[in-house]
Amino acid sequence: MEDGRADRPSGKPREKCGVVGVSLAERDAALPTYYALYALQHRGQESAGIVTHDGFQQHQHVEMGLVGDAFDQDDVDALRGSTAIGHVRYPTAGSVDKDCAQPFSVSFKGGALGLSHNGNLVNADEVRDDLAGAGHAFTSDGDTEVIAHDLARNLLESDLVRSVKHTMSRIHGSYALTIMHDDTVLGVRDPQGNRPLIIGELDDGYVLASESSAIDTLDGEIVRDVRPGELVVLHEDGSGFDSYQLVEAENTAHCFFEYVYFARPDSVIDEELVYEVRRDLGRELWAESGTETDVVMPVPDSGRAFASGYAEAASEDGAATEFAEGLMKNRYVGRTFIMPTQEARERAVRLKLNPIKSTVEGKTVTLIDDSIVRGTTSRQLVQLLKDVGAEEVHVRIGAPAIVAPCYMGIDMATREELIAGDQSVDGIAEEIGADSLSYLSTDAVSEAIGKSKDDLCLGCVTGEYPYDIDGEATDRDVERPTIEPPADD
Amino acid sequence: MEDGRADRPSGKPREKCGVVGVSLAERDAALPTYYALYALQHRGQESAGIVTHDGFQQHQHVEMGLVGDAFDQDDVDALRGSTAIGHVRYPTAGSVDKDCAQPFSVSFKGGALGLSHNGNLVNADEVRDDLAGAGHAFTSDGDTEVIAHDLARNLLESDLVRSVKHTMSRIHGSYALTIMHDDTVLGVRDPQGNRPLIIGELDDGYVLASESSAIDTLDGEIVRDVRPGELVVLHEDGSGFDSYQLVEAENTAHCFFEYVYFARPDSVIDEELVYEVRRDLGRELWAESGTETDVVMPVPDSGRAFASGYAEAASEDGAATEFAEGLMKNRYVGRTFIMPTQEARERAVRLKLNPIKSTVEGKTVTLIDDSIVRGTTSRQLVQLLKDVGAEEVHVRIGAPAIVAPCYMGIDMATREELIAGDQSVDGIAEEIGADSLSYLSTDAVSEAIGKSKDDLCLGCVTGEYPYDIDGEATDRDVERPTIEPPADD
Amino acid sequence: MEDGRADRPSGKPREKCGVVGVSLAERDAALPTYYALYALQHRGQESAGIVTHDGFQQHQHVEMGLVGDAFDQDDVDALRGSTAIGHVRYPTAGSVDKDCAQPFSVSFKGGALGLSHNGNLVNADEVRDDLAGAGHAFTSDGDTEVIAHDLARNLLESDLVRSVKHTMSRIHGSYALTIMHDDTVLGVRDPQGNRPLIIGELDDGYVLASESSAIDTLDGEIVRDVRPGELVVLHEDGSGFDSYQLVEAENTAHCFFEYVYFARPDSVIDEELVYEVRRDLGRELWAESGTETDVVMPVPDSGRAFASGYAEAASEDGAATEFAEGLMKNRYVGRTFIMPTQEARERAVRLKLNPIKSTVEGKTVTLIDDSIVRGTTSRQLVQLLKDVGAEEVHVRIGAPAIVAPCYMGIDMATREELIAGDQSVDGIAEEIGADSLSYLSTDAVSEAIGKSKDDLCLGCVTGEYPYDIDGEATDRDVERPTIEPPADD
Amino acid sequence: MEDGRADRPSGKPREKCGVVGVSLAERDAALPTYYALYALQHRGQESAGIVTHDGFQQHQHVEMGLVGDAFDQDDVDALRGSTAIGHVRYPTAGSVDKDCAQPFSVSFKGGALGLSHNGNLVNADEVRDDLAGAGHAFTSDGDTEVIAHDLARNLLESDLVRSVKHTMSRIHGSYALTIMHDDTVLGVRDPQGNRPLIIGELDDGYVLASESSAIDTLDGEIVRDVRPGELVVLHEDGSGFDSYQLVEAENTAHCFFEYVYFARPDSVIDEELVYEVRRDLGRELWAESGTETDVVMPVPDSGRAFASGYAEAASEDGAATEFAEGLMKNRYVGRTFIMPTQEARERAVRLKLNPIKSTVEGKTVTLIDDSIVRGTTSRQLVQLLKDVGAEEVHVRIGAPAIVAPCYMGIDMATREELIAGDQSVDGIAEEIGADSLSYLSTDAVSEAIGKSKDDLCLGCVTGEYPYDIDGEATDRDVERPTIEPPADD
């Protein structure tokens, strides 16, 4: 996938984040939370934060930067208490701002609240306006503060479960939340389960995390995914958890892009191992649009598992296509480098990826990647391979074409910037200079993930969304909050 | 006075600080608090902080450095709410640490607490041990956290006034506190009123501050000093305040050194204008030990008001002594400069003060300062004046000799470092090379301040303290907490 | 004087700087240079730098910030060699830029050149264009780089003295320079001696500095001022110096404002002690426009010496006017504080200066300062004194009214911003709310400084300049470079 | 390979660096140099620097940190001139110090010199002592300053080629240098060619770089490697270069470890493509010690090319061993993370690498890596694979065992820390818990690289060095400088 930074839409920044919650018997929870965030670093590099509670008071440490930079030993030591939540946040253009760093914490008359959010509300402005009308002052323009204020307000009048249910009845959109009210840690997933959240068991407690690899890092065991619409309340003493199925939705809307690109390959999400899904997508890709070329090579690292499945399937079909690592990645390409001229920008890809000439020269090549967003990098790569002697370059993408923005918390390009936004596959092939180009079908995606299309969010590849978004089509019978507010409210 | 930094004792750092509390009708309180801290900057340059409450939640911003550096416009804007407390802290050797920066805030099950402290407890370890035994974890080794935890604990079981009274019954030492519990701002002064705290009225609210100059800066009017042992509770709507005289002590123990050196000359403390006190001390100095020399000159800036009173009294007595600004101060001497060798250190005074040769050459000189701590600077200054041609140099000090450490929150030298710790005035005169040296008597201090010696803390000049300190003598019948805990506890 | 920062004109920043040059027998020159810069810190707080040469190679360390912050022990230790030059630079609005920090150093085919400049060229653009035409690339828009390139260019073709003379024949304006070519230290002053530069002798070498107080700090002896148009070459072994009178001008154009405001009171400039000049200006002020009021008080610290002379002369005349320090300065007012509203700006003066009510209430007051630039502060001060009860406030200024900008390196306001730019003294008095206002005459200035008006630069108070400036009048027969280029060039 | 940082010997830091030199017709050379350093970032992440010359003067910018962080657009723009050298430096423990950042530049009486060094001198102290005896003062303890001073000294007395030859006759050890004297760029490689240096041609000039991938990044063409003992002088106008074979050595001593680990796979070093060498080493590994297991998997990313060659050779031999990516790397593991306890350190590997359970469970596994240094990571990895169900774990290393330190500029562990320093392969297998362990023979290394063992430096795997090092054996007839100083010296 191309560098997401350049593809980011202007306008309100959206979040791709990782969340954690930990409740232990006696041990301080800060260090395990720190390691879990480390494991989720790929979900957000802008800021990292941990909030803990020691039974008496709340402690917090939130900083801009990577987990390893944001915390030193003293910072972690100061975070006393056996319960904690944590958060890593994705870098966004422009308003990179400490105000938006999470967990968001509120010290209010009902005690201490902390909240970590992954996802995106579609009615945040509406809820914010209601709360502002009731006298709430907001310090950021983020969704998270809106959820936190609504929940805190409810907590002044109701118990924890009812308060959460009440808040869920007001907010609409995608969310996986870890919450800490005083020393109680909660996990919540939106009614359609768009963003992942999983429960793990440790020797002396329980953990909630966006991905199972965080549980692995703590040498824990996967218990199960948090269910769509479920509230999980970890026991303060680490002895277990309670489950409250606050809402039931007919269908889920799991984000298929978590499998394609965003999650770690070693994570299990909604019971599917991401690595295997990617290899299966590669196999489907061969089945749907395989071409026998001299070599097949991934765009590292995102295309590797796809290419490996593709090559394997090709080999099983008796094709002579050889798998090769023909593009070498510069591991140190950072966030910023200087590109003063258009010419320099054209050449920038070579700072990141350099072809092994011997692998390419005089050969026909299939290049495999997981997605094309704006097409700039793909065009440069095809050109680069031809410059060093590739006779043909065929591009195969392990997902359908992205034709529309994501409103659920992944920071895609605007519709205008998307190369597939307004043209045919042939047009795109021509634009990137490929001898042929194929995407995968949504049927194949459904097949590889092992879930019905009705249970996936395919909004960015179909333009039809499983949530009710102003000005966009829906792919199902979506109605605003089907959640009944708690009876006694 | 010599540079306090070099004179600081090792061991637990003590605090010389400034505190502020503000409660307004509608306006955000952060900006007035910021200006008030600016006016109190001389009381602490290590860190600055403000905590506010907007009726729903608490906000805070605490940073190392000067007020002007610690806050920018956005920081102040984010501090919503019409109630606030603030703090500036004195730089201490070694463990300059963000953990000790104030206001200290606690987000606990009983809501949000913020606390700013000026002073020093003498039984902090005792109280801390009790609380630790009850399960409290501490993140700093400061007194303030101890007071905050004790108070928060009481608040879980009792009302505000009783909780403060209970805490006052446990802590012993000097303290002027501004406290914010949720959106209520309080001010407390220890039973003997060692540290100053004053109430001011603004157009739309009330303010508490260590010194009246902070009230001036806000164009407010002085109402009165907070009384020793009094709790003042500002109304949330800025309409007034309630007073609770929680303890009555027979005598006060106002710090005389606030008048001599620490407070701003334009502040009124316990009904005395500091500038006039200093001029009176200068007049007393002439009366007790005046010497007719060609010129009398202050060590700038600390000796100026003393020298002016001294010269005036001399002139009234018909002495031909001329007042002259013969030492020019380098306004940019900062905290640090390089002094690799002993020789360099000897010469360092000339980086700070340079004599005007024409004022000194061939003349007899009286040099006036407010105090001598270790004597290094005085010795260098006398030598410097002689080097440029002074025929005689007589040193007059507008306070008694400092012979013992301060346990009440001012960071003096250790007893061993004090030049007056173990020798006669003649010995000191010889050590600093002065042709004569005189200090002021404690009677004259009492006279100039207009308070009985029994109502002043003169510990550092008598070695007898008005508080019960392990291993030190007391100058009165001091008993540990005479404060009855509230009846129902 | 009002805070210069707010009065700074937009447009090209001008420099008010301090320069140093040191050549010793054996000792490393960096530490003495550091102390000398410390003594000259008032001349520039934006950046500090030292360049040394160890006989083989040049070393440099230039940083933004105060001298004490810009250098640590290691930095000074790394600056090997017994010759050095140094520089402190004034903070300028907007383009505070490391590129402009000095000394400027050039590593060119003719060796190593370092250059420190105080002053302002009036034909810098002209010379820069010539050099650019000859292939020189410039990295800053500063005058100093222009002088350095011109001199380096000359050094490739000629000897040191001829090269300097050649450069002097091309540049026109005010300059006091310390230069280091390889390990030779030079000092140069422009033909009219606008900016100060003085020679001092140490035990083991010689020093050049903008002000004599830097020599005092090193325990050195004043030798004499560098003469206008003179080149001084310090011997590499610290044994002495050679003098080359490269140009003779009929009259000098010493900046009178150095005496009034800019220089340290303890400095001797062109044989006059600044402190005495200021007291004499105060005496002249009484003589010209003395008014008997209850008290006379300085605006601290700038008005103190003036007020002292004024009060003394008043007393000699039998006036009952009492000298009082009625305004207390907040020593910690830094570069920045937040003033979000106009109202806040109006009140800002009270953050800096607070009146002692008892000194002012019910009294007639004379307020003494050295200058009025835009008038904002003066207006606020007069108002403040009246607010606390002054019956009358008479303002007396120890210099003529500033009516025009400075082109010689002092950063005044633009003509439009100057309160005296386009109105009468009465108009100004009204604008600042004073009961009366008087400035000093230029005759009195000439008298107090002890130099003919023809030998002073009075441009900013007369609008007639001793240099040839586009669009401005001259007060004498100024011709562009009267300096003959060296014969053999 | 394990994390080199933890394996670093104490004592004098050694350098693993990248060097660049560029000479163009007209274009500024800074930007291409910047891109070339970006491509060489893997050779050093501690600091980055560029020195340029514009024909008149030298410009430099050297900063700590990655290339992308060390330079912004303004920094590059300020580096005028069409000739440049650059440097990236490896992070070393403890004394990470700006003093050691390169290029090292000297502004001396003979002009401007800049120097970038990759390698390590074995007689630096000796040369330094000589120079110090001649009056040279050193600011760092690095080799580079020694070379620079020696060369500068020679340049005061001789021409460029003779000066370089003279310096080469004095220094002994490994070095690849890019040098800039005024605006002339040179490249030098030590007589045995230990460190790589290659010449590339651009459209408008020539470039020297440690690796060919830097030339690729500039869209340049490889010309040839700089020959051992050769001096290459780039023409100032970018039109070509001159070659001076200053020394002839019988054998080369190319570092074999560049091929095994250090260089980028897409670089060609001494005419061998690193990627192909690694695949060949993998094939040799199968040939020498192949074991048929269910899967073969690389330690990512270092073992990937080896494992690919190994699997391919296995497949050609009919083995059923499947290639799998069974270990997933956390791309965001940074330099620092908190590991407060021994237990945490044991588990640290899981922060970096997480197994795909499905790939491993119930299977026999061959794990391929390029080297084992201290063995800690290998032990943890084997344990990890067994924990998730691997039945057997066989470790195969694509290089011989490292038994001795490197003195040529690669920062290995001390002999005591090396796991292979004092025990048999069986002992190591037991220590890391592997079911079997095999290293590669030096013959196989020689075969894969295509160079005789006599032309390789195999010091770290044999303990016999091709340079004369105090206390170590040599593997050939090494004599100190066989280089004749230039005849006329």
Domain ranges in chain B are 14-250, 272-451+455-462
The continuous run of DSSP H or E covering D347 comes out as helix D342-347
pLDDT grade for A12, boundaries at 50, 70 and 90: very low
pLDDT at D291: 95
Residue C158 reports pLDDT greater than 90: yes
- Which residues, in sequence order, are CB contacts of C392 under 8 Å at separation 6+? C293, C364, C365, C435
Q: Find out whether D387 is annotated in a ligand binding site.
A: no
d(CA B273, CA B258): 11
* Catalytic hit among A17, A24, A152, A299: A17
List the single residue in B66, B216, B335 with the smallest CB-CB distance to C334.
B66
Give partners of B (≥3 CB pairs < 8 A).
Answer: A, C
> Chain A closest CA to B65's CA: distance in Å?
19
| Average confidence (pLDDT) over B83-99 | 72
Helix (H, G, I), strand (E, B) or coil at C179: strand
Asked if the bond preceding B301 is cis, omega within 30° of 0, the reply is yes
Of the residues C1, C13, C17, C59, only one is catalytic, namely C17
A100 among annotated binding-site residues: no
Q: Is the pLDDT of residue D486 over 90?
A: no
Contacts of D480 (CB under 8 A, 6+ apart): D123, D172, D468
Query: Which pLDDT band, with edges at 50, 70 and 90, does A141 fall under?
Result: confident
| Predicted complex ipTM exceeds 0.85 | yes
3-state per-residue secondary structure call for D22-51:
EEECCCCCHHHHHHHHHHCHHHCCCEEEEE
Do the Cβ atoms of D56 and C182 come within 8 Å? no
> Which residues of chain D make contact with A67, given a CB cutoff of 8 A?
332, 337
d(CA C116, CA C44): 13
Structure tokens at A327: 């593009």
Using a CB-CB cut-off of 8 Å, the residues of chain B touching A139 are 59, 78, 80
Name the residue facing A213 among D31, D304, D354 (closest C-beta). D354
Q: For D319, which DSSP code?
A: -
Is pLDDT above 50 for C8?
no
**pLDDT of D95 over the 70 cut:** no
Query: What is the residue type of A329?
Result: K
Instruction: Give the pLDDT of residue B100.
Output: 74
Both tokens assigned to D168: 């080469």
Statement: C14-250 belongs to CATH 3.30.450.20: no
- Chain D CB contacts of A354 under 8 Å are 39, 213, 216-217, 264, 266
Q: Do A338 and D67 touch (CB under 8 A)?
A: no
SS3 B232: strand
Cβ atoms within 10 Å of A477's Cβ, excluding its own = 8
> In this predicted structure, what is the pLDDT of residue B13?
31
Location of structure tokens 């180009």: A437
Instruction: Please give the pLDDT value at position D17.
Output: 93
Sheet with strand B184-189: strands edge to edge: B104-108, B111-121, B173-181, B184-189, B230-234, B241-245
> CATH number of the domain at C272-451+455-462, please?
3.40.50.2020
Q: Is the peptide bond before A32 cis (omega within 30 degrees of 0)?
A: no
Cβ distance of B80 and A139 shorter than 8 Å:
yes
Let me know if chains A and B touch, i.e. at least 3 Cβ pairs under 8 angstroms.
Answer: yes
Is pLDDT at D108 greater than 60 in this prediction? yes
Are C217 and B69 an interchain contact pair (Cβ–Cβ within 8 Å)?
no
In sequence order, what E strands does B332-401 have?
353-355, 364-369, 392-397
pLDDT band of A482, cuts 50, 70, 90: low
Q: Which residue has the tokens 């956005």?
A: B74
Nearest CA in chain A to B183: A109
Mean residue pLDDT of chain D comes to 89
Partner-chain residue, chosen from A39, A328, A338, that has the shortest CB–CB distance to D265: A328
Q: Which residue in C383, C428, C437, C415 sits closest to C7, CA to CA?
A: C415
CA distances from B65 to B69, D43, D110, D426 (A): 6, 39, 47, 60
pLDDT at C10: 26
Q: What is the largest CA-CA distance in chain A?
A: 75
C182 vs D109, D149, D152: nearest CB: D109
Phi, psi of C224 (to 5 degrees): -175, 170
Residue A101 has pLDDT above 90, yes or no: no
Exposure b/e, B280-290, CB count within 10 A at least 16 = b: bbbbbbbeebb
Q: Over 70: is that where the pLDDT of A92 sits?
A: no
- pLDDT of A394 reads 98
pLDDT of res. D184? 98
CA distance D415 to chain A (A): 30
- Which chains does D contact via 3+ CB–CB distances below 8 A? A, C
Residue B478: pLDDT over 50: yes
What confidence category does residue D474 fall into, taking pLDDT thresholds of 50, 70 and 90?
confident
Active-site choice (B17, B197, B215, B385) = B17
* Residue A487: per-residue pLDDT: 59
Whether B31 has a pLDDT exceeding 70, the answer reads: yes
pLDDT band at D482 (very low <50, low <70, confident <90, very high): low
The answer to whether D106 contacts C57, with C-beta atoms less than 8 Å apart, is: yes
Identical fold, B14-250 and B272-451+455-462: no
> For chains C and D, what is the number of CB pairs under 8 angstroms?
64
| Residue in chain B nearest A54 by alpha carbon | B137
Q: To the nearest whole number, what is the mean pLDDT of chain C?
A: 89
Q: Active site includes B100?
A: no
- DSSP character for C358? H
∠D111-D113-D117 over CA atoms, to 5°?
170
Per-residue pLDDT at B481 exceeds 70: no
3-state SS assignment for residue A363: coil
Alpha-carbon dihedral A386, A387, A388, A392, rounded to 10 degrees: 10
Do A and C count as touching (3 or more CB pairs closer than 8 A)? no
Contact D266 A344 (CB under 8 A): no
pLDDT at site B475: 80
**Among candidate residues C205, C193, C203, C206, the one with its CA nearest the CA of residue C271:** C193
Cis preceding linkage at D103, omega within 30? yes
Contact between D73 and A344 using a beta-carbon 8 Å cutoff = no
Residues of D with Cβ-Cβ distance to C105 under 8 angstroms = 107
Is residue D478 pLDDT above 60, yes or no? no
**pLDDT class for C148, splitting at 50, 70, 90?**
very high
Of B136 and B6, the one with more pLDDT: B136
In the structure, what pLDDT confidence band is assigned to residue C97 with cuts at 50, 70 and 90?
Answer: low
Shortest Cα distance, chain D CAs vs residue A183, angstroms: 24
Check CB contact under 8 Å for D137 and C58: no
Give the H or E element holding residue A268. strand A268-269
| CB-based contact B152 A80, cutoff 8 Å | no
Q: Which residues in D lie closer than 8 A to residue C139 (C-beta atoms)? A: 59, 78, 80
Name the pTM for this structure: 0.87
Indicate whether B2 pLDDT > 70: no
Please give, rounded to a whole number of angstroms, the shortest distance from the CA of D303 to a CA of chain A: 13
pLDDT at D416: 84
Residues of D noted as catalytic = 17
